[in-house]
Amino acid sequence: MKIYIINGPNLNMLGVREPDKYGSTSYADVVNMIDGHCKSLGVTPVFYQSNHEGDLVDKIQEAYFEGASGIVINPGAYTHTSIALLDAVSATRLPTVEIHISNVEEREDFRQVSYIRAACIKTITGHGVSGYNEAVDFLVNYLKEEK
Ligand code: DQA
Protein backbone atom coordinates (compact mmCIF):
# COMPACT_ATOMS: atom_id res chain seq x y z
CA MET A 1 0.00 0.00 0.00
CA LYS A 2 1.39 3.37 -1.06
CA ILE A 3 0.36 6.65 0.57
CA TYR A 4 1.40 10.22 -0.22
CA ILE A 5 2.55 12.47 2.63
CA ILE A 6 2.24 16.03 1.29
CA ASN A 7 3.37 19.18 3.07
CA GLY A 8 2.70 22.73 1.97
CA PRO A 9 4.47 26.07 2.37
CA ASN A 10 7.01 26.70 5.10
CA LEU A 11 6.85 23.16 6.46
CA ASN A 12 10.38 22.66 5.14
CA MET A 13 11.27 25.21 7.84
CA LEU A 14 10.16 22.95 10.69
CA GLY A 15 12.60 23.14 13.58
CA VAL A 16 13.45 26.73 12.62
CA ARG A 17 10.05 28.39 12.29
CA GLU A 18 8.19 29.41 15.45
CA PRO A 19 9.23 26.41 17.59
CA ASP A 20 6.71 27.46 20.24
CA LYS A 21 3.96 26.59 17.75
CA TYR A 22 5.53 23.90 15.56
CA GLY A 23 8.16 22.28 17.80
CA SER A 24 11.90 21.93 17.35
CA THR A 25 12.00 18.82 15.15
CA SER A 26 13.35 19.47 11.66
CA TYR A 27 11.42 18.58 8.51
CA ALA A 28 14.03 15.90 7.73
CA ASP A 29 13.53 14.33 11.16
CA VAL A 30 9.75 14.44 10.79
CA VAL A 31 10.10 12.63 7.45
CA ASN A 32 12.30 10.01 9.14
CA MET A 33 9.77 9.56 11.93
CA ILE A 34 6.84 9.09 9.51
CA ASP A 35 8.94 6.84 7.29
CA GLY A 36 9.76 4.53 10.21
CA HIS A 37 6.13 4.48 11.29
CA CYS A 38 4.89 3.65 7.78
CA LYS A 39 7.43 0.86 7.41
CA SER A 40 6.35 -0.64 10.75
CA LEU A 41 2.83 -0.80 9.27
CA GLY A 42 4.01 -2.24 5.96
CA VAL A 43 3.04 0.94 4.12
CA THR A 44 5.17 2.70 1.49
CA PRO A 45 5.21 6.48 1.95
CA VAL A 46 5.91 8.99 -0.81
CA PHE A 47 7.04 12.31 0.66
CA TYR A 48 6.62 15.71 -0.95
CA GLN A 49 6.92 19.28 0.26
CA SER A 50 6.42 22.43 -1.77
CA ASN A 51 5.95 26.13 -1.19
CA HIS A 52 3.93 26.40 -4.42
CA GLU A 53 0.20 25.81 -4.69
CA GLY A 54 0.19 24.46 -8.27
CA ASP A 55 2.96 22.00 -7.46
CA LEU A 56 0.84 20.69 -4.59
CA VAL A 57 -2.10 20.28 -6.98
CA ASP A 58 0.18 18.38 -9.38
CA LYS A 59 1.33 16.08 -6.57
CA ILE A 60 -2.24 15.30 -5.46
CA GLN A 61 -3.07 14.40 -9.07
CA GLU A 62 0.11 12.30 -9.28
CA ALA A 63 -1.02 10.33 -6.22
CA TYR A 64 -4.11 9.36 -8.21
CA PHE A 65 -2.26 8.51 -11.44
CA GLU A 66 0.41 6.54 -9.56
CA GLY A 67 -2.21 4.41 -7.84
CA ALA A 68 -1.76 5.64 -4.28
CA SER A 69 -4.29 4.40 -1.72
CA GLY A 70 -4.60 7.70 0.11
CA ILE A 71 -3.05 11.00 1.15
CA VAL A 72 -1.94 12.65 4.39
CA ILE A 73 -1.68 16.40 3.84
CA ASN A 74 -0.65 19.42 5.83
CA PRO A 75 -1.46 22.21 3.38
CA GLY A 76 0.08 24.89 5.66
CA ALA A 77 -1.36 28.34 4.97
CA TYR A 78 -3.03 27.07 1.76
CA THR A 79 -5.47 25.32 4.10
CA HIS A 80 -7.10 28.68 4.64
CA THR A 81 -7.04 29.99 1.06
CA SER A 82 -6.94 27.23 -1.52
CA ILE A 83 -10.01 26.04 -3.36
CA ALA A 84 -7.58 24.50 -5.89
CA LEU A 85 -6.31 22.02 -3.28
CA LEU A 86 -9.89 21.19 -2.26
CA ASP A 87 -10.78 20.58 -5.91
CA ALA A 88 -7.69 18.42 -6.43
CA VAL A 89 -8.54 16.14 -3.51
CA SER A 90 -12.19 16.02 -4.59
CA ALA A 91 -11.13 15.13 -8.14
CA THR A 92 -8.96 12.19 -7.09
CA ARG A 93 -11.49 10.95 -4.53
CA LEU A 94 -8.55 9.50 -2.63
CA PRO A 95 -9.14 9.14 1.12
CA THR A 96 -7.28 12.11 2.57
CA VAL A 97 -6.41 13.06 6.14
CA GLU A 98 -5.74 16.73 6.94
CA ILE A 99 -3.17 17.32 9.65
CA HIS A 100 -1.99 20.47 11.42
CA ILE A 101 0.84 20.50 13.90
CA SER A 102 -0.51 23.46 15.85
CA ASN A 103 -3.91 23.83 17.43
CA VAL A 104 -5.41 25.97 14.66
CA GLU A 105 -8.76 26.20 16.49
CA GLU A 106 -7.11 28.31 19.18
CA ARG A 107 -5.30 30.64 16.79
CA GLU A 108 -6.26 33.62 14.60
CA ASP A 109 -9.69 33.94 12.99
CA PHE A 110 -8.21 33.55 9.50
CA ARG A 111 -7.02 30.05 10.46
CA GLN A 112 -10.54 28.92 11.33
CA VAL A 113 -11.41 28.29 7.69
CA SER A 114 -10.19 25.11 6.01
CA TYR A 115 -11.27 24.70 2.41
CA ILE A 116 -9.70 21.27 2.00
CA ARG A 117 -11.50 19.87 5.05
CA ALA A 118 -14.72 19.33 3.07
CA ALA A 119 -12.94 16.65 1.02
CA CYS A 120 -11.09 14.98 3.91
CA ILE A 121 -12.10 11.91 5.91
CA LYS A 122 -10.46 13.24 9.08
CA THR A 123 -8.68 16.30 10.51
CA ILE A 124 -6.03 16.12 13.22
CA THR A 125 -4.86 19.35 14.87
CA GLY A 126 -2.68 20.36 17.78
CA HIS A 127 -0.87 17.10 18.46
CA GLY A 128 2.50 18.36 17.32
CA VAL A 129 4.44 16.40 14.74
CA SER A 130 3.20 13.08 16.16
CA GLY A 131 -0.11 14.08 14.54
CA TYR A 132 1.42 12.86 11.27
CA ASN A 133 1.72 9.31 12.65
CA GLU A 134 -1.85 9.54 13.96
CA ALA A 135 -2.96 10.62 10.50
CA VAL A 136 -1.19 7.64 8.94
CA ASP A 137 -2.81 5.29 11.49
CA PHE A 138 -6.27 6.70 10.79
CA LEU A 139 -5.79 6.43 7.02
CA VAL A 140 -4.42 2.88 7.15
CA ASN A 141 -7.25 1.69 9.42
CA TYR A 142 -9.79 3.38 7.16
CA LEU A 143 -8.30 1.68 4.10
CA LYS A 144 -8.30 -1.73 5.82
CA GLU A 145 -11.96 -1.35 6.80
CA GLU A 146 -12.85 -0.16 3.30
CA LYS A 147 -11.65 -3.47 1.79
C1 DQA B 1 -0.23 24.64 10.01
C2 DQA B 1 -1.22 25.72 10.47
C3 DQA B 1 -1.39 26.77 9.39
O4 DQA B 1 -2.30 27.77 9.83
C5 DQA B 1 -0.07 27.45 9.09
O6 DQA B 1 -0.22 28.38 8.05
C7 DQA B 1 0.99 26.46 8.77
C8 DQA B 1 1.09 25.25 9.59
C9 DQA B 1 0.06 23.62 11.13
O10 DQA B 1 0.64 22.59 10.84
O11 DQA B 1 -0.25 23.88 12.30
O12 DQA B 1 1.84 26.68 7.91
O13 DQA B 1 -0.81 23.94 8.94
Q: pLDDT tens-digit profile of 74-124? A: 999 999 999 999 999 999 999 999 999 999 999 999 999 999 999 999 999
22 is catalytic: yes
Q: CATH fold of 2-146, please?
A: Rossmann fold (3.40.50)
Cα(147) to centroid(ligand 1), Å: 32
Give the tens place of pLDDT for each residue, 36-65: 999 999 999 999 999 999 999 999 999 999
Residue 140 Cβ inside 6 Å of ligand 1? The answer reads no
Considering the candidates 4, 27, 48, 100, report the single residue annotated as catalytic: 100
Q: Do residues 86 and 119 touch, judged by C-beta distance below 8 A?
A: yes
Q: Are 44 and 2 in contact (CB under 8 A)?
A: yes
The span from the CA of 59 to the CA of 23, in Å, is 26
Q: What is the pLDDT of residue 147?
A: 66
The DSSP 8-state label assigned to residue 126 in this structure reads: S
Q: 47: buried, middle or exposed (CB in 10 Å: 19+, 13-18, 0-12)?
A: middle
Dist. CA 34–CA 28, nearest whole Å:
10
User: Is 52 among the residues known to form the active site?
Assistant: no
Residue ranges of domains in the chain: 2-146
